[in-house]
Amino acid sequence: MQKSNRKVKKYMLFDTHAHYDDDRFDEDRDKILSELKNYGVTNIVNIGSSMKTSKSSVELANKYDFVYATVGVHPSETGELTEADMEELKQLSKNPKVKAIGEIGLDYHYLPDDVPPEVQRKWFVRQLDLAKELSMPVVIHDRESKGECLEILKEKKISNGVVHCYSGSAETAKKILDMGMMISFTGVLTFKNARRAVEACKIIPLERMMIETDCPYMAPEPHRGERNFSGYVEFVARKMAEIKNVTYEEVVRITDENAKRFYGIE
């Protein structure tokens, strides 16, 4: 983990999507988390992506006052879900540190070797219904679903949600905004081949965007290929400031406010 040369301590970087329960953090998880305030990171949401990681996300949130959790099952993990699992997610969500249902959605990238589309759709809809029952926001994973994910969200009248790790077109971003949802960017925004993401970022109002690392994945330039961590969310914010032609400080302030409002954090 490299030290940042920038003085960011006075700013409030909010990493809205991280996976610190991942085994790539097993050797130094506590050290990383205890030092994040040195990088100006004041809040993190650790995202559940399976039954196991939903539980571990809650455990992390209980351990650290600046870490919050979501609970939910990623589409590629839905193959063996049961109604008993939905009841367990419901019980987990009663913890005050749990702020959303997610990450949930559709992912057709690895078909036909992944969970069949009809199974993914079933449990996506079921978890959306759970979120509505609990009046909680949703964190959406949408990868190569050819518009099906957004169609389901529209049919279910979901507006309190965020599409995370956005790399789609400006046209699709407008559809997401029209639904009332938020859009979140990772280090992908800094990649040299991220033309579509950059064009989308240009047309999205700052008040509708959040920043994230999706760590340990998606490390931004100039650290692409490394293990990502929340300190690198700074590079996403700086790229966003460049694209929007505003100051870095303004991006940090507004995305922090957006995240706290979305996740219901005082």
Q: Which two tokens stand for residue 256?
A: 């922090």
Angle, in degrees to the nearest 10, between helices 117-134 and 148-155: 30
Closest to 47 (Cα-Cα) out of 160, 165, 174: 165
Which residue stretches of the chain have pLDDT < 70? 1-11
Q: Are 124 and 100 in contact (CB under 8 A)?
A: no
pLDDT at 10: 56
Report the distance separating Cα 176 and Cα 106, nearest Å.
15
Q: Identify the pLDDT of residue 151.
A: 97
Q: What is the pLDDT of residue 95?
A: 98
Domains of the chain: 14-263 (3.20.20.140)
Give the pLDDT confidence of 12-49 residue by residue, as tens digits. 999 999 999 999 999 999 999 999 999 999 999 999 99
Average pLDDT over all residues of the chain: 95
